[in-house]
């Protein structure tokens, strides 16, 4: 019998950045990173006057900024 409670919960995904020159892999805390990106994306949205329809672009720009800062 399959008990739905007995099924394994999916593991949290961890964003992994490129290897550094020392060969170590940079690992980001996913939840904190998404919160930071979300805040920055909202700032970008507000800075351009709250114009709708560019949420994906705002997210990607914010994500790039945050990832670049952490290198």
Convert the pLDDT of each residue in 5-25 to its tens digit: 555 544 545 454 455 455 444
Q: Is the pTM of this model over 0.75?
A: no
Q: Which residue has the higher pLDDT, 27 or 67?
A: 67
How many Å apart are CA 12 and CA 27, to the nearest integer? 13
Backbone angles phi, psi at 25, to 5 degrees: -95, 130
> What's the pLDDT score for residue 22?
52
Q: How confident is the model at residue 3 (pLDDT cuts 50, 70, 90)?
A: low
**Are 66 and 16 contacting, i.e. CB atoms less than 8 angstroms apart?**
no
pLDDT at residue 64 tops 50: yes
């Amino acid at each position: 019998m399959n008990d739905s409670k007995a099924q394994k919960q999916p593991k949290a995904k961890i964003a992994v950045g490129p290897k550094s020159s020392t060969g170590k892999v940079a690992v980001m805390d996913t939840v904190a990173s998404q919160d930071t990106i979300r805040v920055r994306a909202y700032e970008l949205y507000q800075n351009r006057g709250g114009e709708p329809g560019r949420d994906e672009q705002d997210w990607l720009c914010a994500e790039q900024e945050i990832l670049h800062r952490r290198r």
